[in-house]
Amino acid sequence: MDPILVSVNDRLANVGDTVSLVGHLDLERFELSERSFLLPSGMDYDVVLSNVGEGILATGILRARAIGTCDRCLDEAVLDVAAEVDEYYLFSEPEAGVLEDGEEEGPDYTLVSADSTIDLSGALSTAFVMDIPYVVLCREDCAGLCPVCGENLNKVDCGHAEQIADQAEQQRMESSPFAALRNLKLDE
């Protein structure tokens, strides 16, 4: 994502000052490790920047329609993303010792840059990523692909599911501790 630079100017000079930012990003796609999402209408954000003394707090919402691939059936999965934006931009590096006991990593913050700007792109992409489910599905009860013939079971009933269930039942019977006994009796 390209930087979205916002100047921390007079409007945010004093503690308590807030600035509302509403914007649209013409972003066509978003890549997320092995996943790729098309964004037919880009992204829209509605963020409020507040001077909270030590820094600028950016809170708001990011909305996007994201079209990805269903993890089960590989068909299209449409996600309506409504993600919470929450980022803290400190005016200066916090002093050592500010960290609370037991806190291994530093608090979650970014710095206001030397030219008094903040870059919202990181906050927006983090929000987007956090809102994408771990498993992307076209619908909650997606039936997936048939492991035998590869048909999309949401659309076609190839009949293999029953066959597989029968086989599984047979295997269960055979692997049962009583299976050996049963054979023994048959042999006698």
C-beta closer to Zn ion: residue 107 or 159: 159
- The verdict on 148 binding Zn ion (CB under 5 A) reads yes
Q: Which residues contact 114 (CB under 8 A, 6 or more apart)?
A: none
How far is the C-alpha of 101 from the C-alpha of 104, rounded, in Å?
8
* Smallest gap from residue 132 Cβ to Zn ion (A): 16
User: 35, 63, 65, 160: which one contacts Zn ion (CB under 5 A)?
Assistant: 160
Q: Which tokens in the block code for residue 6? A: 């916002």
CA 38 vs CA 63, 129, 181: distances in Å: 14, 14, 58
* Smallest gap from residue 64 Cβ to Zn ion (A): 20
DSSP state of 166: H
* Smallest gap from residue 31 Cβ to Zn ion (A): 21
- The verdict on 72 binding Zn ion (CB under 5 A) reads yes
Q: Do residues 83 and 61 touch, judged by C-beta distance below 8 A?
A: yes
> Among all chains, which residue has been given the structure tokens 């023994």?
184
In the shown chain, the binding pattern of residues 105 to 144 toward Zn ion, with x for contact by CB under 5 A and - for none, equals ---------------------------------x---x--
Residues that bind Zn ion (CB under 5 A): 70, 72-73, 138, 142, 146, 148-149, 151, 158, 160
